[in-house]
A and B are shown apart, each in its own frame.
Chain A
Amino acid sequence: MYSVEELGKISSQVRRDIVRMVSAAKSGHPGGSMSSADFLTALYFRVMKHDPRTWTRDGAGQDVFVLSAGHVTPVYYSLLAHAGYFPVSELATFRKFGTRLQGHPSVDKGLPGITQASGSLGQGLSAAAGIALGKKLDGAPEKVYVMCGDGESEEGQIWEAALFAAHYHLDNLIALTDWNGQQIDGPVDEVAGQGDLRCKWEAFGWHVIVADGHDFNAILDAYAQALSVQGKPVMILFKTEMGHGVDFMSGTHKWHGKAPSAEQCEEALKQLEETLGDY
């Protein structure tokens, strides 16, 4: 089992990968990738029951993860590679013609670990609810995790899915919101103020947990609490910072979907320890 310290080392490498991948591709979404890196690292390396060697798209016998906020592929691909789904060297093909590492997750290129295509926002929570319901119908005990963005939660379908999952008591569904407060056009509160997300999810019948998404002890506590909930779906609202880990990229929407230049990449990498070896 990975310790909190080891998880921190993995997420440092993941952030290096994110910056290098997006910089090399000259496009992509580093901000949300870096804000979600810690709680997704904990999910893949400590919490989720999964095995890349026996993974199949139908999720049989394993926990399932769906990335609803499909644009944060840099963090997703880096985690999948380091978890053993495909060679880490393949990260160098991100967003290149012919790659399995498409700009947004696809299932038609055969990249292991991808359960559903995403990118058009607001849809992954519904798919995850369907997978959770399918597991219930089969009497399968595994959990289904799904990550949404806070900006993404402006989509009406998110709230359709929220009603559905509560109505069907999908307590095998654990949703994660990367609550970084930023979206492409600016701070979420300025673009389309959402008010109190905790109250909203509670009002929709979910068990809600709010946690610091950059503190591994808090992250692990949140997952442990989520796994103990019965009768309701769970939403963990992870309070995070967009671009976390690099000073000039953090806390602003400006790095939502912008690639660092070669010089900026070099500057960023000085702030991120290489722990597992660069691809």
Chain B
Amino acid sequence: MTKYTDTGKKDTRSGFGAGLLEAGQADSRVVALTADLKGSLKMDAFAAAFPERFIQCGIAEANMVGVAAGLAITGKIPFIGSFAEFVTGRVYDQIRQEVAYGRTNVKIASSHAGITLGEDGATHQTMEDVALMRALPGMTVLCPCDYNQTKAATLAAAKWDGPVYLRFGRPSVPNFTPEDQVFEIGKAYVMNEGKDVTVFAMGHMVWEALQATEALEAEGISVEVVNVASVKPLDEETILASACKSGKVVVAEEHNSAGGLGELIAGLLARRAPMPVEFVNGGDVFGQTGTPAELMAAYGLNAESIACAVKRAIKR
């Protein structure tokens, strides 16, 4: 299989911070806003480099969305950053009216997404955000898999004309994709070629899928892994081609089942190429306090769960 090396664990939110700084250096229209989470969102370097273009909004996310829309109307490229729950569920109506329906070029930087936020517990662990953002007409939804890809996706979001939801996380995780990659919005990345089962994954689950693939290869099972970092727009042709190669599919995501990547790909396959699909996701749950690794294991969101799902798919 294609060999991936962890070049050293890093958090994806730091990839966002690095990308934001670089985007700010490349384009003076880029501005950054936060609701009292500058440090958590790794915006310190941007704020130090461009103090005039860093806008602290205080703990008032609804207003932050509106201010960002206003700034976008005047031609700025605003990135608003907070925890995933507080830039989606808390402000869904503001994003709907001011950003999506209002057609403003606002970039939503969504950190600490999913269960791996960890010890803060369920109030902060959103497993519903992708469903909410996917549902909005005109919204682009990105979920990159590691530090390097999150940095690249941030740069791509800055250049993209239209609203973007950029989802990333809190914990340090393996950094294994190329350092200076160019991120293409609307493209799914085939990470490993295989023939028995195709695993589609997003975010932290891509590394887990690759780990599962390595273990399964030792058992003689050949797995194709596709990184669906662009959830919307979805690269339907790459996904269909990859699924049809094996005829059996697993979808893995750090998100609940409703409205997530699994339902999205299952819907595509139902329309274009019906076949067995197994799901690795949170189901219909709220999380709880714990370390990221404990929670991933407890909610069935790791390499072992993916390997089991691959075996279930093969039996169908």
Contact = CB atoms under 8 A, between A and B. Distances in A.
Nearest to A123: B66
B102 interface: yes
Interface in B32-76: 52-53, 55, 57-58, 60, 62-76
Contacts of B72: 130
B160 interface: no
Interface in B62-98: 62-76, 78, 93-94, 96-98
Contact of A130 (B58, B62, B70): B70
A105 to B, nearest CB: 10
> Chain B binding site: helix, strand, loop or mixed by DSSP?
helix
B164 to A, nearest CB: 18
A130 B77 CA distance: 12
Given A117-B98, A120-B97, A157-B94, A164 B57 contact: yes
Interface string A32-59: 0000000000000000000000000111
Interface string A193-226: 0000000000000000000000000000000000
Contacts of B55: 133, 168
A119 interface: yes
A98 B152 CA distance: 41
A78 interface: no
What bracket does the count of chain B residues touching chain A fall in? 20 to 34
A119 B101 CA distance: 11
A102 to B, nearest CB: 11
Contacts of A108: 101, 103
Contacts of A59: 73-74
A127 B58 contact: no
| Residue from the set B31, B53, B62, B94 with the largest chain A CB neighbour count within 10 Å | B62
A216 to B, nearest CB: 30
B66 A131 contact: no
Contact of B53 (A118, A137, A164, A168): A137
A125 B94 CA distance: 12
A119 B102 CA distance: 11
Contacts of B102: 107, 116-117, 127
A249 interface: no
Given A58-B73, A129-B70, A119 B97 contact: yes
B76 A127 contact: no
A134 interface: yes
A116 B98 contact: yes
A140 B5 CA distance: 51
Interface in B176-220: none
Contacts of B103: 107-108, 117
A202 to B, nearest CB: 20
A161 B63 contact: yes
A167 B59 CA distance: 13
A263 interface: no
Nearest to B102: A117
Given A126-B63, A160-B60, A118 B70 contact: no
Contact of B74 (A58, A118, A124): A58
A61 to B, nearest CB: 12
Nearest to A168: B55
Contacts of B62: 122-123, 126, 156-157, 160
B42 to A, nearest CB: 23
Contact of A157 (B63, B68, B73, B78): B63
A137 B60 CA distance: 21
Contact of A120 (B58, B67, B74, B93): B93
Contacts of A130: 66-74, 78
A160 B63 contact: yes
A237 interface: no
Contacts of B63: 126, 129, 157, 160-161, 163-164
A75 interface: no
Which 6 A-B residue pairings sit nearest by Cβ, starting from the closest? A130-B70, A126-B66, A134-B74, A160-B63, A160-B60, A130-B67
Interface of A: 57-60, 106-108, 115-120, 122-135, 137-138, 156-157, 160-161, 163-164, 167-168
Given A126-B98, A129-B63, A164-B63, 20 more contacts: A107-B101, A117-B98, A117-B102, A120-B97, A123-B66, A123-B98, A126-B69, A126-B94, A127-B69, A128-B70, A130-B69, A130-B74, A131-B70, A131-B71, A133-B55, A134-B73, A134-B76, A157-B60, A164-B58, A168-B55
